[in-house]
Structure 1
């Protein structure tokens, strides 16, 4: 379970650019080594760029990276223990300003972000990258399992992991389970 949330916010390509994100990934990797990280983003184009640079820095530091692509934080958090990851990183557009990016680092311990990365690992110690696709189904099943029968009988609508920047925004899928309608 993630206890610490560290937020880094800044203007895209000014405060937070690819070099910054690469160094951030290496710095986190230095602190975690060895380890595994889950990484995701919203559908905003700069989020994709920054997420990839952070992932590259993590791999350069010898950290294995599981890339969820476009995902909400609750869905990623649901998979944290199953994927045996040390922390999660989510990159998204700042809700305050359209030109700003928000990097959330969620972990069991605070990461000292004031230091500099110490260096890269040898080529044969690089972290591995894997992409995860079918993560939503286990999240949906787990969430439905938590709904009591008293609530299921009411026919309430349950909304899971809504994200305005998700590509699913236009294709909201609906599931019927017992009497509960689920939107994801």
Structure 2
């Protein structure tokens, strides 16, 4: 992580670290890095979006880069528009699931994949140097506006088909999904009820789509006897799902179900997930011809592995899903269409969810100053290997040790001064025993770091 770019682009409080001046400089740096070509720019619904978008566009134009402004647009639409218009890159002005005082800048490659940490490092170096290209007056970039929503929905309808209509409740969280997600569901032939779909930038619920933030969606699904509830975060790159009985379907369960459905739809192959995903996924997809590969946390790591292995599906246990046959941009809106197709083919979600194995997952955050993280991780890696009787070690992002019926992940947070412990076991008793041991080890390592 650099001075500006974190685990998911730049994300800061508006007019503190994230100012129009910084957005202008990022535009100039990106233009200097690209040298020529076209960039698609979209934004989520935050009140600061227009201010930051215009500053970023000014920076791009000053370098001689052409810009296609797609206005209010979820991240998946930016990723789609890059390919549709043959652009060299895309930018979303978004802070995803962060509170409304935040905003951010996330950059996408020509293939729809997010910029890798290496690419962000190069942007950062140009930003730091202030050595921006300047185009003469007659070679400045041109700006045009476009709306790719119709093409996006049309293309989605070529890939997803329903035999029956369903009643769907969509909770867009007052985010950018509001302008696409309910419309796609309607075009699929469904009856759509929208919640929180006025894109005001004032969020009436916490944006991360989890059981707590989606209580109103769950109540609505139950009250009107809908078939499913679908929710998004601020830029709709994620999906949260409520089943036909009004229960939030846990992320891990949903990840397993959709991975299994992708194998049924597109054939056997590799499923990419992150080191914090549980064994339920492996156990559920193995009989369907799926092989699970784990990588670093973050959508760009998942997209890179998918591209490398030609995977069928990639997803994180946070509702971030990538469907490579569609795009390498995480897409909660297209994901919603696939959930409906899965229900159409396989039956009600409440029944499907029962087929996914349930294990005991425990998570803990332990305070750890950022400057101690590296040393603490060294000690944890050394001690964990002695303390636990494990069969497999994965150290691509933190340290994950596995045995046949349990696993533990020790990982420093990329955004907060904490150390995370995530573990899974077949029984409550075993999970608690492992957590006690793991917590003692981490606290000791931080104290010694």
TM-score range, shorter chain: 0.7 to 0.9
Count of residue pairs brought into register by the alignment: 172
Q: TM-score, normalised by structure 2?
A: 0.35
Q: From the two aligned structures, give the one with the greater helix fraction.
A: 2
Is 2:51 the counterpart of 1:49?
Answer: yes
Q: From the two aligned structures, give the one with the greater strand fraction.
A: 1
Q: Per the alignment, in what secondary structure is the counterpart of residue 9 of structure 2? A: strand
Is 2:142 the counterpart of 1:114?
Answer: no
Distance 1:176 1:73, change over 3 A: closer
Over aligned residue pairs, what C-alpha RMSD do you find? 2.8
- Aligned partners of 2:78 and 2:91 also within 8 Å: no
Distance 1:107 1:159, change over 3 A: farther
Larger RCO (CA within 8 A; separation ≥ 6): 1
Once the two structures are superposed, residues 28-69 of structure 1 have per-residue CA deviations (whole angstroms, 9 ceiling, x without a partner) of 000101111000001222111111100100000110000000
Q: Per the alignment, in what secondary structure is the counterpart of residue 186 of structure 2? A: strand
Query: What's the counterpart of residue 174 of structure 2?
Result: 164
Is 2:92 the counterpart of 1:74?
Answer: no
Pick one of 9, 12, 26 that aligns with 2:11: 9
- Cα distance in 1 between the residues matched to 2:22 and 2:46: 18
How do 1:54-69 residues align onto structure 2 when only pairs under 5 Å count?
54-69=56-71
Gapped runs of 5+ residues in structure 2? 1-6, 193-332, 334-449
- Cα distance in 2 between the residues matched to 1:10 and 1:45: 14
Query: What's the counterpart of residue 138 of structure 1?
Result: 151
Once the two structures are superposed, residues 109-163 of structure 1 have per-residue CA deviations (whole angstroms, 9 ceiling, x without a partner) of 6241222342421111100000013x11111111011014xxx113346899x56
Q: TM-score, normalised by structure 1?
A: 0.80
- Aligned partners of 1:29 and 1:57 also within 8 Å: yes
Once the two structures are superposed, residues 76-123 of structure 1 have per-residue CA deviations (whole angstroms, 9 ceiling, x without a partner) of 212212211011100124523332112111115624122234242111
> How far does residue 20 in structure 1 lie from its aligned partner after superposition?
0.7
Query: What's the counterpart of residue 153 of structure 1?
Result: 163
- Cα distance in 1 between the residues matched to 2:77 and 2:177: 15
